[in-house]
Chain A
């Protein structure tokens, strides 16, 4: 199989900030490839370079065999993009937005009109064709942007945090579209997200932090590599069990928002031991299979989820990091 996206040692500096720090990877045809990482990890920057909107400081990137720096127009013809921030003209109707896109990409009028119908149908917006985009909800806008990105039948679709800020139902719907696209149009999808659950939908993911790829594999294998079970222990009031656990069992304990978190080989048989030996000092014990969150935690020492980020973690990011 041919690699549709080839990235070699990509680097991007904004002044003194190194946003992307030597990233290399390949995406095969028909693959759904995800970039998973917290805000400020360099996901959008990478996408912008691949979409020819930014020049890299160093390294190479090719889309469908075309160099993003040397043949930007060739690349542009092959890709569809859904940006992280809204890029629709909200004074125009859904159909007008798609129509202008079709014109820009040089589609014949007949094809444009046919594609408008097809694409709106696909994202369930056919009934809103003549509606001005300003009246659309966040989810509808996103769906329309996906429809627009697909108007010219690109080989590769880039999605930058396509489901951020959407309700679970809309998120699920968007994933349905993406899976269908891959089935029906054999399109390659490159997406970014900072939602773990979402990354599970990808064929392969790269975990990215501070501009570097920390791990790259299928979600299943990443979790397998971690091995064992994850136990979250909430100590009874006030007790600091971290050092105790380390001393007794040689565990690597990480305090999280929910409690003390650690991994063991066989969780089911470890819990009775814990309960017997530390009994009263424990409020609750919770056992689960490792998630991508745990993978991220073990790779970076931090939890990725924003909603769980502690005050200390928030401080660690400078304010502007949160915006991108």
Chain B
């Protein structure tokens, strides 16, 4: 067990050191959310009057989108970190880790924890920007939001690790980005309210970890909102969100570690 913990820590440390070293990534991390805010806040919400909201519900599109922006930043950062295992394989570092006398599942777990740490840093910046979206946060609320974002990040990174472990080359990378990341995002309901969608879409929605993540984030952020507003925003009870999300972390974690252990 000591070996496993040490391995998790080592791989986590590597992710963290790399993150600190990559200045462009840190700049991107601050810049990207600001960009979302500008586009969503000024562009989209001005262009389309938010018509989906039922009459009497006083909610700006930016407010509606805020949890979605949080989820989006975590989604991108996490899937990218997970898939980066392909880079490690291509450019060698993975071999160094795979010949070490350590359990491989611990490597996958360390990778996921490292990626989640980086994702949470980005999320923290977004949380600091909450006033721009007219969202009021308290310290305990920030803690709860980070906890949910952490679960989302773990689930998505493990998904990335699982996929990367099955991929032979880097060529599939663009495909994954197009056919996985964007659908994950749109299906989650982060962009538009998922009422009145076709049955097939609603079915797919239920398999998307982000659906429950976004739902949980909305529960937390709009906890004090009018019940009518809340009913419009969320689809599942908060506890269901948490349970399903945790379940998905465990299942994807198992899959990610398993595929990762069996590669090479």
Q: A156 an interface residue at 8 Å Cβ cutoff?
A: no
The binding surface of chain B is classed by DSSP as: helix
Query: Number of contacting residues on B, CB 8 A?
Result: 25
Q: B179 an interface residue at 8 Å Cβ cutoff?
A: no
Is the CB–CB distance between B13 and A103 below 8 Å?
A: yes
Is the CB–CB distance between A89 and B93 below 8 Å?
A: yes
Using known A-B contacts A91-B18, A91-B22, A92-B14, determine if residue A104 contacts B92 with beta carbons closer than 8 Å. no
**Of A77, A90, A103, the contact of B10 (CB 8 Å cutoff):** A103
Is the CB–CB distance between B10 and A53 below 8 Å?
A: no
Is the CB–CB distance between A103 and B99 below 8 Å?
A: no
Is the CB–CB distance between B17 and A87 below 8 Å?
A: no
Q: B3 an interface residue at 8 Å Cβ cutoff?
A: yes
Using known A-B contacts A100-B13, A103-B6, A103-B9, determine if residue A53 contacts B21 with beta carbons closer than 8 Å. no
Is the CB–CB distance between A92 and B9 below 8 Å?
A: no
Give the A-B pair count, Cβ closer than 8 A: 65
Using known A-B contacts A52-B99, A53-B95, A87-B96, determine if residue A104 contacts B10 with beta carbons closer than 8 Å. yes
Is the CB–CB distance between B17 and A92 below 8 Å?
A: yes
Q: A73 an interface residue at 8 Å Cβ cutoff?
A: yes
Q: List residues of chain B with CB within 8 A of the CB of A89.
A: 14, 18, 93
Q: A179 an interface residue at 8 Å Cβ cutoff?
A: no
CA of A77 to CA of B91 in the docked complex: distance in angstroms?
23
Query: Taking the nearest CB of chain A, how far is it from the CB of B170, in angstroms?
Result: 15
Q: List residues of chain B with CB within 8 A of the CB of A76.
A: 99-101
0/1 string, B234-260, CB within 8 A of A gives 1: 000000000000000000000000000
| A78-86, A236-244, A293-301: which lies at the interface | A78-86
**Of B9, B91, B100, the contact of A86 (CB 8 Å cutoff):** B91
Residues in A89-134 with C-beta less than 8 Å from chain B: 89-92, 96, 100-101, 103-106, 132
Nearest residue (CB) in A for B7 is A104
Q: List residues of chain B with CB within 8 A of the CB of A10.
A: none
Q: A88 an interface residue at 8 Å Cβ cutoff?
A: yes
Q: A51 an interface residue at 8 Å Cβ cutoff?
A: yes
Is the CB–CB distance between B99 and A53 below 8 Å?
A: yes
Q: B98 an interface residue at 8 Å Cβ cutoff?
A: yes
Q: B264 an interface residue at 8 Å Cβ cutoff?
A: yes
Is the CB–CB distance between B93 and A88 below 8 Å?
A: yes
Q: List residues of chain A with CB within 8 A of the CB of B93.
A: 87-89
Q: List residues of chain A with CB within 8 A of the CB of B3.
A: 106
Nearest residue (CB) in B for A87 is B92
CA of A96 to CA of B10 in the docked complex: distance in angstroms?
11
Q: List residues of chain B with CB within 8 A of the CB of A106.
A: 2-3, 6, 101
Query: Taking the nearest CB of chain A, how far is it from the CB of B87, in angstroms?
Result: 11
Q: B97 an interface residue at 8 Å Cβ cutoff?
A: yes
Query: Taking the nearest CB of chain A, how far is it from the CB of B81, in angstroms?
Result: 14
0/1 string, B1-31, CB within 8 A of A gives 1: 0110011011001100110011000000000
**Of B10, B14, B92, the contact of A83 (CB 8 Å cutoff):** B92
CA of A30 to CA of B7 in the docked complex: distance in angstroms?
31
CA of A96 to CA of B20 in the docked complex: distance in angstroms?
13
Q: B102 an interface residue at 8 Å Cβ cutoff?
A: yes
CA of A89 to CA of B10 in the docked complex: distance in angstroms?
13
Is the CB–CB distance between B92 and A85 below 8 Å?
A: yes
Q: A86-B92, A106-B6 are in contact. List 17 more A-B contacts (CB 8 A).
A: A53-B98, A53-B264, A74-B101, A76-B99, A76-B100, A79-B99, A81-B99, A87-B94, A88-B92, A90-B91, A91-B18, A92-B14, A92-B17, A92-B18, A101-B96, A101-B100, A106-B3
13 A-B pairs whose Cβ atoms sit less than 8 Å apart in the complex: A51-B99, A76-B100, A86-B91, A87-B92, A87-B93, A87-B96, A91-B17, A92-B21, A101-B96, A103-B13, A104-B10, A104-B97, A104-B102
Q: Which 3 A-B residue pairings sit nearest by Cβ, starting from the closest?
A: A87-B92, A76-B101, A104-B100
